[in-house]
A and B are shown apart, each in its own frame.
Chain A
Amino acid sequence: MIEMQDVYKTYPNGVIALNGISVRIKQGEFVYVVGPSGAGKSTFIKMMYREEKPTSGKIMINGVNLANIKNSKVPLLRRNIGIVFQDFKLLPKLTVYENVAFALEVIEESPKNIRKRVMEVLDLVRLKHKARFYPDELSGGEQQRVSIARSIVNNPAIVIADEPTGNLDPDTSWEIMDIFERINDRGTTIVMATHNREIVNTIRRRVIAIERGKIVRDEVKGEYGYEA
């Protein structure tokens, strides 16, 4: 459960990125966040993994208010949230397997569990056969699947993605969506900021539209609603 109450965010340079956001996202929901460039989508997402603190307002995730947790508690929060970006953020010198295992190694998971969990998620994103490949030997779509595998390897309750298909061609984007749907089917909440009109209009889910830092539309099974 994610709940925001009257969240405002003013960046130090004076830009008001979020201008009074209140929203509830239940466990297991699949939510698209849409809106024009600069509307505040990324900021909205950054609030949820405490990359940015709100200037005012409350952000509750599973009963904890992120607005006033200590910095030292942020790592624990993030172990329960998977994060996916447009640019994959893979480590080029590590293989696919190592990239995914990295996420568990750095939180001191036991080696036995690491092996098991990594192979499971690589299977889920259908990349088991490329476990020994390096990122630059993979297509963009495959790289994004590795990054998704990494985001879910610790079994988070929530996966948030900021334009995960932004760098991919349309066919590849569908593969990615297929994987997000499968993850969502297991009960994981998905919050995804996107500019991909076709996807939003085809795979109908809840749509939250943000403009100038405010939620202007919130529809169950909504539409993209902007010109492509």
Chain B
Amino acid sequence: MRLNTLRRHFRESFKSLGRNGWMTFASISAVTVTLLLVGVFLVIMLNIQHITKQIERDVEIRVHVDLSATDADKDALRAKLEAFAGVEKVTYSSKDEELQKLIDSFGEDGQSFRLFEQDNPLSDVFIVKAENPLDTEKIAKQIETLPSVSKVKYGKGQIEKLFAATTTIRNVGLALIVGLLFTAMFLISNTIKITIFARRREIEIMRLVGATNGFIRWPFFLEGLWLGVLGSIVPIAIVLSAYSYTFDLLYPRLKDTFFQLLPFYPFAWQVATVLVLLGACIGMWGSLMSVRRFLKV
């Protein structure tokens, strides 16, 4: 394409934005509202996903070693555990360490457990982490069959429930986002339809004098693109400033919990990029729908 032509298409598309003042405003607003909601969902979902990952990551299998096991048995067990497919890490915690952890976890009240220091009823434990938290159950079942294992404990059912919950949240969110995207797309396509209608005379003349379809369509694609991209500015600003504010507010309180939010950077850039690209896509897609329906030869 000639540079002149490109310049012309840009000029024409911007002119349309101005000329259709109200419709431009309406469709940019529609994109804005949509992307605002999409942005909020995106932020929430990505954070849920992030938090879920952390919780999932903390899911561990506790392998209690049989009291009769010798040091050699323990070494053999450890070697077997480490050789398991899908096992990420194996750590050993002796029964004394276990008791200490128990005492610590009860704080002041834990002191009463000191009685057991003489005759520790706990077992030595191997803590096994699966590479994929969803494999936890499968791995745990297999570990149960190994020799020198007295008991295997893991968050039975918890992981599955957690995972099912996040999946539901993800799916509902995605469905909503898809619905909103289509709404915005429909509104943009409507605006482009109005532009096409407003410029039907120009289009008619272009056809008569032999302008190609591609040439005729370009300004409408660009107009759709601008509508989408312009519609993404406000949502990006709002979503990111709200996130930054919320993050600063919650960060100190959540510091010691599972609920770690995603840090502002590079998250902010990712969200901004996604929103701009989504805006651009709905703009061009909306435009395409109208152009295909109303600009047929």
Which residues of chain A have a CB within 8 Å of any CB of chain B? 49, 71-72, 74-79, 83, 89, 91, 102-103, 105-108, 110-111, 150, 154
Contact = CB atoms under 8 A, between A and B. Distances in A.
A149 to B, nearest CB: 12
A82 B216 CA distance: 19
Nearest to B199: A91
Contacts of A102: 205, 209
B20 to A, nearest CB: 14
Contact of A89 (B201, B213, B216): B201
Interface stretch (B2-10, B68-76, B170-178, B285-293): B2-10
B210 A78 contact: yes
A108 B209 contact: no
Given A106-B206, A111-B4, A75 B201 contact: no
Given A105-B8, A108-B5, A111-B4, A75 B205 contact: no
Interface centre among B204, B210, B211 (most CB of A within 10 A): B210
Contact of A49 (B201, B208, B215): B208
Instruction: Decide if the interface of chain B is mainly helix, strand, loop or mixed.
Output: helix
Contacts of A74: 210, 297
Contact of A78 (B4, B5, B202, B209): B209
Contacts of B112: none
Interface of B: 2, 4-5, 8, 201-202, 204-213, 215-216, 297
B205 A103 contact: yes
Contacts of B297: 71, 74
Contact of B215 (A91, A108, A110, A154): A108
A75 B210 contact: yes
Contacts of A75: 207, 210-213
Contacts of B204: 89
Given A71-B297, A108-B5, A108-B215, A154 B209 contact: yes
Contacts of B215: 106-108
B211 A107 contact: yes
B89 to A, nearest CB: 63
10 contacts: A49-B208, A74-B210, A75-B211, A78-B207, A79-B210, A83-B208, A89-B204, A89-B205, A102-B209, A107-B210
A157 B183 CA distance: 49
A79 B209 contact: yes
Contacts of B2: 108
